[in-house]
Amino acid sequence: MKRLGVGLIGSGFMGKCHAQAFRAAPTFFALPREPALELLADIDAKTAQKAARALGFARSTGEWKTLVADPAVEVVSITTPTALHKPMALAALAAGKHVWCEKPVAASAADAREMAEAARKARAVTVVGFNYLRHPLIRLAREMVASGEIGEVIGFRGVHLEDYMADPKTPWVFRFDPAGGHGALSDIGSHILSVARHLAGEIAEVSGQLVTAIARRPAARGSAKTRAVEVDDQARALLRFASGATGSIEASWIAWGRKLTLAFELTGSKGTILLDFERMNELQIFTAGQRRGRAGFKTILAGPDHPPYGSFTPAPGHHIGFNDLKTIEAKMLIEAIAGGPPAWPDFEDAWHIQQAIDAIALSARERRWVRTSDL
Amino acid sequence: MKRLGVGLIGSGFMGKCHAQAFRAAPTFFALPREPALELLADIDAKTAQKAARALGFARSTGEWKTLVADPAVEVVSITTPTALHKPMALAALAAGKHVWCEKPVAASAADAREMAEAARKARAVTVVGFNYLRHPLIRLAREMVASGEIGEVIGFRGVHLEDYMADPKTPWVFRFDPAGGHGALSDIGSHILSVARHLAGEIAEVSGQLVTAIARRPAARGSAKTRAVEVDDQARALLRFASGATGSIEASWIAWGRKLTLAFELTGSKGTILLDFERMNELQIFTAGQRRGRAGFKTILAGPDHPPYGSFTPAPGHHIGFNDLKTIEAKMLIEAIAGGPPAWPDFEDAWHIQQAIDAIALSARERRWVRTSDL
Amino acid sequence: MKRLGVGLIGSGFMGKCHAQAFRAAPTFFALPREPALELLADIDAKTAQKAARALGFARSTGEWKTLVADPAVEVVSITTPTALHKPMALAALAAGKHVWCEKPVAASAADAREMAEAARKARAVTVVGFNYLRHPLIRLAREMVASGEIGEVIGFRGVHLEDYMADPKTPWVFRFDPAGGHGALSDIGSHILSVARHLAGEIAEVSGQLVTAIARRPAARGSAKTRAVEVDDQARALLRFASGATGSIEASWIAWGRKLTLAFELTGSKGTILLDFERMNELQIFTAGQRRGRAGFKTILAGPDHPPYGSFTPAPGHHIGFNDLKTIEAKMLIEAIAGGPPAWPDFEDAWHIQQAIDAIALSARERRWVRTSDL
Amino acid sequence: MKRLGVGLIGSGFMGKCHAQAFRAAPTFFALPREPALELLADIDAKTAQKAARALGFARSTGEWKTLVADPAVEVVSITTPTALHKPMALAALAAGKHVWCEKPVAASAADAREMAEAARKARAVTVVGFNYLRHPLIRLAREMVASGEIGEVIGFRGVHLEDYMADPKTPWVFRFDPAGGHGALSDIGSHILSVARHLAGEIAEVSGQLVTAIARRPAARGSAKTRAVEVDDQARALLRFASGATGSIEASWIAWGRKLTLAFELTGSKGTILLDFERMNELQIFTAGQRRGRAGFKTILAGPDHPPYGSFTPAPGHHIGFNDLKTIEAKMLIEAIAGGPPAWPDFEDAWHIQQAIDAIALSARERRWVRTSDL
């Protein structure tokens, strides 16, 4: 089978995920191309070498530009801090590579648009790592919407809550750097906005609120010196969708006790869908018109009736996990590169998500409703 | 024991609740006064007579003004449509009666203020029927906040979702009448706002969104004629509390499948409290600083350690129900009338809740943030 | 309306429940007779007098035999320790009274049979306080079984778990007295057996296991002296029903953290019903033949479609509580006395439940399967 | 790194799992040996060839004896129907191979003992596929027991419920063949027995009940011809552990709606642990001595504090799935082969589990308590 040369930039949490996904994808799916882990780039040669060995890459480099130019690399995975996504993606696209980029795609909608345009011009396959959209139950939810099972969508309330920044002693890290965009809004708000858009359509207008509840952080772990936090740790917005549906989102990385509360309630004119990724293998649905005395929410457990769950195990209710989502993402990327169905969300989609992010921030700053198309 | 003459205006859902609560209160609590169901007023003499018999009232009248003037009546329960609350309450107060009024207290903040002023002047006991605040677990939540168990409150996200208006065939009823204020916002949004204020303090500023998703309703049950709906069936708002905490609320009476999703997440600097009235006897708490590998949300079942649960049953986890909340409300009212601790929420409290309601509606109309103190 | 003279023996947890239920029943139900709290008997005159005042009884006595003979008393509520049920019930029946007796009905199946025979001979109305059977969702479960919604019943697994005896420092009390029968098996095992029999039919044969995990208890609260515990604190049994269905039960009063885990799984040839009284207002049902990809357990919230829920509140999902179950029990008793539908479970039913209890204990002792009809 | 030659017999559900686990293990763990998928054997050459290609094996054969003798194969994975486990395992051990065998290990305790003896004599590494024991939260539960966090274990109630045989139209397959042992008892009862033994210690004595609720099945899919079912589809047992603790298990493959209800309640003298694999990333714990009014079950989400969760993702609450359990199993096997800590459960452990299985069946047949050591 023809190989697909993979280059990975970054080897942290998400770098590992990409590497594992490339390795796992051919195990679970019959793929048209066999990913080959060619080259890994990281902050310096030594770090890169160590990571390459751990993650199974053939070669390594301390220069990402070297990776982008490497002829054996056909697809570039970008898993660095957000501020670096644009230069790396543009260079990769310019070098004729396909790109798998982590979210948020860029620090601003303007940057995201530039990336989307470059991708279009390059006719490259691009995928942005909104991995939760890969879950078979999100696919089910979208099918239910499309088939009219809950009627017309009239409301969406979504949250993405975690607590990885809840402890005020958690030190300043790159995620607090405004150069990467916003705070919780960019980091996890982007996820719930991606879900909102996937299920309820384009977001037209927002009224936002950004809050920095913990104003200063230790400059480094254990340091007595502190550093001001300039980005939000709680973000909220009222939404109006292009369809006329309305809703809200909230993102917080200081929500004590929450680990993956990426949850939504999708209200239709004939039913309701609920999903919470802390129980990611359960979807709840209520439909109008049930028999009197027998009506209620039904809990559907992910199973082989919900593709591509069956590629992982034939047994329903046996659970897929977080890494499996990334494996599905890699599969879609590889198939698209081989000429299969288009991959999504691509840079174009990510740009629209970024518009919503920036609109929320602008709205919060100017205390007025803002159209996403203005960003 | 000295009797307490009770007059009840209205005998629908809430009228029955008041009657039952007055009868049940002395069964569960040692009270300083014995409620005596003296007089019931309804729309006409016949309706009133029938209701009086069913609910155990000694006498009946088709004229609420007669009731308000009756010398045997010391406390007047008002359970009529909202638009009537103000004239009835003002008349009762003027006649020297104490007043137990259903929520929302009035059609507007201006009306509510007038009622609060009249109550203050009359030195009367007033209680407004925000019955969910009576739950022992809401009391527990408030104690946890007060004691600092979750640190300083920094976020509140609350919803009140039901589906009693979700079916477009549900005909126009008084709840759709703008003379009574707003729609879902007034009817159940008032509940979640009462909870927000109880736990996170006064609401200072809001950005609101009101939506009428079902624009026309049958004029009457089964009627082919339709009538325009002028009030909201979905209401949302971003909130800023006087304390600096922030949050949001949503109210919807068209949320298919939801029966009593009066639920909130209260985020503090050191922990989180969750409560959902569809499981009203369970409160969840997460606190910072738990042992590594053993941290998690704890589910506390209502029990005799949570007063006044023990007045209903000594056995924990054995459940109190909706009517018990109303019984606790009656108990507080009776004790306050007999000179015990002040009852709450009184007309003053209800006025502030009404300010938040009106501010949300104004904000939605004018698409800008509105201060509650401007209403 | 004709009054119904009530006599109550005992004024502890269950005594209060009976009193409250008699007072609440006419508030929620249109009844043919009006209960009048005539006479309360307790261990001595002083205790009885105090309790009578607190619970609203007109008179009191320190002699239960006086109560049983009182001409104003038509129905006798027996809420004393189990060992006393038989003499009191037999005396009441002999005096021409109806009887509402707490569970377990007697210390042995032999005693229970004697009581059932006396009741039959006296043509009296008898009701035994298996209050959980009163829940509207148990009624729903039974209707589902009867209508074939889950096919033929093939399995029942039930538990009743609480932790009121889990602390080894909890002192010896009457519940540990073998004169009252067994331990957890009698006290709460009787509840789950009553549910098993109600939903799956008569229990034919059992293999039992009784365990006394905490062998000695303080003789009194705080006492250094201890006393041997002779009854079980964990009881388990395999069951064969007369229908051929099979199953198991477990009862434990030392199940740390459990407050009212009276829960069961009822498996049919075409579906499954689940109920857990710690969430007593939720029933779950799965039925065969659901659409592929859309199958799951449905959660039904108790509401007015589940009689007699609607007598308490017209709003679904608003919760009835423990005391409401007792109120439903009182209603059924009063109606049966007035010539309405027969009340149940009566002494005959309770005898059969007692046979299962005794069979489990005998089986545990002799380490063999035992037929309930042998007891 | 030194390679580890892998031979796989069988390529169904579990065959795929083994293949995937061998491929995934080095992605997530730093391993001392690199698994190389050498040879796959299946029912015939053609089937084997196709499977080898799909699962990434270098070679294939239609003769398992060829595989067992192959010098490049160091470890043999056995994933065939149970009846074949013994001859294959004995041949592999005789050929000096290590063995990873699916559960149940054998059709009888006698066979299992023979296998355990052969493994001991061969000084081979053996692992039996009780994959649920690999879950980080099972490891946590065991640590809690060991550390005394719930005191002394006094009760265990476990079930394994699925519905893959609930439909009477599901045809006769090898799982119904008594040559493989029992029915639900062997197939999934073995899992819950493995959990019982892992957490509460050796099972000493049982009283069992086996039921065949669906007596005949179509001989093949869609066939009008039927075939008698001789094995159980519901199995239950009361248990006495060697420690003196008591409990029960139930296994059913006809439990409509259940997909992976492998669930238990472990009661200790100072607390309780709950786990249900339908929510496999949540463990609940209640401990005695919590503050009054604040006591409750705590829900712990699997995270990096629970090894080896962190090898899959650093983010807590982000879920591992079913295949990850098998990957952990492969990791342990590979490490043990390379001289690391002993792998478990090995054939010796599996023999003891098989003793419990056979004891339950014998007890059911003879209607008496049976000691596991008698089997």
C50 touches chain B (CB under 8 A): no
Cβ-defined contact of C299 to A297 (cutoff 8 Å)? yes
pLDDT, tens only, B199-249: 999 999 999 999 999 999 999 998 999 999 999 999 999 999 999 999 999
Q: Considering the domain boundaries, does residue D372 fall inside one?
A: no
- pLDDT recorded at residue D225: 97
- pLDDT recorded at residue D100: 98
Q: Are B87 and B148 members of one domain?
A: no
Nearest partner of B201 among B26, B49, B349, judged by Cα: B349
Chain D closest CA to A319's CA: distance in Å?
Answer: 5
Checking if the pLDDT of B79 tops 90, the result is yes
Name the residue among D293, D294, D298 with its Cβ closest to that of B296. D298
pLDDT, tens only, A179-233: 999 999 999 999 999 999 999 999 999 999 999 999 999 999 989 999 999 999 9
Residues 128-147 of D with CB under 8 A from B: 140
User: By three-state DSSP, how is residue C47 classified?
Assistant: helix
Q: Considering the domain boundaries, does residue A358 fall inside one?
A: yes
Q: Which residues of A291-304 are buried (b: 16+ CB within 10 A; e: fewer)?
A: eebebbbbbbbbbb
Q: Are C86 and C137 members of one domain?
A: no
Which residues of chain C have a CB within 8 Å of the CB of A304?
none
The last residue of one of the domains, among C131, C164, C179, is C131
CA distance A214 to C262: 45
Checking if the pLDDT of B170 tops 90, the result is yes
D291 touches chain B (CB under 8 A): no
Name the residue among C27, C280, C314 with its Cβ closest to that of B319. C280
Q: Which two tokens stand for residue D90?
A: 């004995």
Sign of the dihedral through C-alpha B333, B339, B340, B343: positive
Q: Are A126 and A136 members of one domain?
A: no
Q: Which of C192, C203, C205, C207 to mutate to test the interface with D (most CBs of D within 10 A)?
A: C207
Q: Are C185 and C305 members of one domain?
A: yes
Residues 194-223 of B with CB under 8 A from A: 207, 209, 211, 213
Count the helix, strand and coil residues of chain B and give each as a percent rounded to the nearest 5.
40, 25, 35
pLDDT, tens only, C29-59: 999 999 999 999 999 999 999 999 999 999 9
Q: Which two tokens stand for residue D86?
A: 């013994």
Q: Considering the domain boundaries, does residue A149 fall inside one?
A: yes
pLDDT above 70 coverage of chain B, percent: 100
B292 touches chain D (CB under 8 A): yes
Sign of the dihedral through C-alpha C73, C74, C75, C76: positive
B84 touches chain A (CB under 8 A): no
- pLDDT recorded at residue D30: 94
Name the residue among B20, B280, B315 with its Cβ closest to that of C27. B20
- pLDDT recorded at residue B191: 98
Q: Are B351 and B230 members of one domain?
A: yes
A322 touches chain D (CB under 8 A): yes
Cβ-defined contact of C300 to A295 (cutoff 8 Å)? yes
Sign of the dihedral through C-alpha A138, A140, A143, A145: negative
Neighbours of chain D (3+ CB pairs under 8 A): A, B, C
Q: Considering the domain boundaries, does residue C154 fall inside one?
A: yes
**DSSP notation for B119-181:** HHHHT--EEE--GGGGSHHHHHHHHHHHTTTT-SEEEEEEEEE--TT-STTSPP-GGG-GGG-
Q: Considering the domain boundaries, does residue C325 fall inside one?
A: no
Which residues of chain B have a CB within 8 Å of the CB of D305?
292-293
- pLDDT recorded at residue C222: 86
Cβ-defined contact of C269 to D167 (cutoff 8 Å)? no
Q: Considering the domain boundaries, does residue C371 fall inside one?
A: no
Neighbours of chain A (3+ CB pairs under 8 A): B, C, D
Checking if the pLDDT of A124 tops 80, the result is yes
Q: Considering the domain boundaries, does residue C372 fall inside one?
A: no
- pLDDT recorded at residue A303: 98
Arithmetic mean of pLDDT over chain C: 97
Q: Are B32 and B159 members of one domain?
A: no
CA distance D60 to D57: 7
- pLDDT recorded at residue D1: 75
Q: Based on the structure, what is the number of domains in chain C?
A: 2
Cβ-defined contact of B260 to C26 (cutoff 8 Å)? no
Chain D closest CA to B141's CA: distance in Å?
Answer: 11
Checking if the pLDDT of D58 tops 90, the result is yes
- pLDDT recorded at residue D222: 87
Chain D closest CA to A21's CA: distance in Å?
Answer: 9
C148 touches chain B (CB under 8 A): no
Q: Which of D140, D300, D306, D309 to mutate to test the interface with B (most CBs of B within 10 A)?
A: D300
Vertex D112, ends D75 and D23: CA angle to 5°? Answer: 25
Name the residue among B213, B246, B255 with its Cβ closest to that of A209. B246
Checking if the pLDDT of A1 tops 80, the result is no
Which residues of chain D have a CB within 8 Å of the CB of A314?
13
The last residue of one of the domains, among C131, C148, C169, is C131
CA distance D134 to D118: 25
Chain A closest CA to B113's CA: distance in Å?
Answer: 28
pLDDT, tens only, D265-294: 999 999 999 999 999 999 999 999 999 999
Name A238's bridge partners.
Answer: A207, A248
For C58-74, what is the mean pLDDT?
98
User: By three-state DSSP, how is residue A240 classified?
Assistant: strand
CATH number of D173's domain: 3.30.360.10
The last residue of one of the domains, among C106, C131, C156, is C131
Q: Which residue of C has its CA nearest to D214?
A: C269
Burial class (CB in 10 A: 0-12, 13-18, 19+), C305: middle
Q: Which of B152, B159, B207, B283 to mutate to test the interface with A (most CBs of A within 10 A)?
A: B207
Arithmetic mean of pLDDT over chain A: 97
- Location of structure tokens 């659901």: C290
For residue D108, which amino acid is it?
S
Residues 254-273 of C with CB under 8 A from B: 258-260
Number of B to C CB contacts under 8 A, please give it.
101
Checking if the pLDDT of B188 tops 80, the result is yes
D348 touches chain C (CB under 8 A): no
pLDDT, tens only, D150-195: 999 999 999 999 999 999 999 999 999 999 999 999 999 999 999 9
Q: Which residue of C has its CA nearest to A293?
A: C305
Cβ-defined contact of A317 to D259 (cutoff 8 Å)? yes
CATH number of B120's domain: 3.40.50.720
Segments forming the whole domain that contains residue C182:
132-320+346-366
pTM summary value: 0.98
Q: Where are the alpha helices (DSSP H) in C56-186?
A: 64-69, 85-94, 109-122, 136-146, 184
Q: Are B158 and B51 members of one domain?
A: no
For A61, A194, A211, the CA distances from A83, given in Å and listed in that order, are 20, 20, 22
Q: Are D239 and D358 members of one domain?
A: yes
pLDDT above 70 coverage of chain C, percent: 100
- pLDDT recorded at residue B1: 75
Q: Which two tokens stand for residue D3?
A: 């390679």
Chain A closest CA to D300's CA: distance in Å?
Answer: 10
D158 touches chain C (CB under 8 A): no
Cβ-defined contact of A13 to D316 (cutoff 8 Å)? no
For D248-253, what is the mean pLDDT?
98
Q: Are D94 and D138 members of one domain?
A: no
Q: Are A167 and A107 members of one domain?
A: no
Q: Are B287 and B148 members of one domain?
A: yes
Which residues of chain B have a CB within 8 Å of the CB of D293?
140, 300, 305-306
- pLDDT recorded at residue A168: 96
Which residues of chain C have a CB within 8 Å of the CB of D270?
256
Which residues of chain D have a CB within 8 Å of the CB of B294?
285, 298, 300
Checking if the pLDDT of C278 tops 90, the result is yes
Name the residue among A26, A301, A321 with its Cβ closest to that of D321. A321
- pLDDT recorded at residue C236: 98
A52 touches chain D (CB under 8 A): no
CA distance D335 to D325: 16
D371 touches chain C (CB under 8 A): no
Q: What is the 3-state secondary structure (H, E, C) of A214-230?
A: CCEEECCCCCCCEEECC
Q: Which of B207, B254, B256, B276 to mutate to test the interface with A (most CBs of A within 10 A)?
A: B256
Checking if the pLDDT of B110 tops 80, the result is yes
Nearest partner of C129 among C348, C278, C345, judged by Cα: C345
Q: Considering the domain boundaries, does residue A220 fall inside one?
A: yes
Chain B closest CA to D261's CA: distance in Å?
Answer: 22
- pLDDT recorded at residue D79: 98
Burial class (CB in 10 A: 0-12, 13-18, 19+), A352: buried
Q: Are A118 and A136 members of one domain?
A: no
C365 touches chain D (CB under 8 A): no
pLDDT, tens only, D106-143: 999 999 999 999 999 999 999 999 999 999 999 999 99
For A59-66, what is the mean pLDDT?
98
**Torsion angle defined by CA atoms of residues D68, D70, D75 and D80, in that order, rounded to the nearest 10 degrees:** -40
Which residues of chain B have a CB within 8 Å of the CB of C320?
319, 321-323
For A48-52, what is the mean pLDDT?
97
Which residues of chain D have a CB within 8 Å of the CB of A322?
312-313, 315, 318-320
Around Cβ B224, how many Cβ atoms within 10 Å?
A: 7
C173 touches chain B (CB under 8 A): no
Which residues of chain D have a CB within 8 Å of the CB of A279?
279
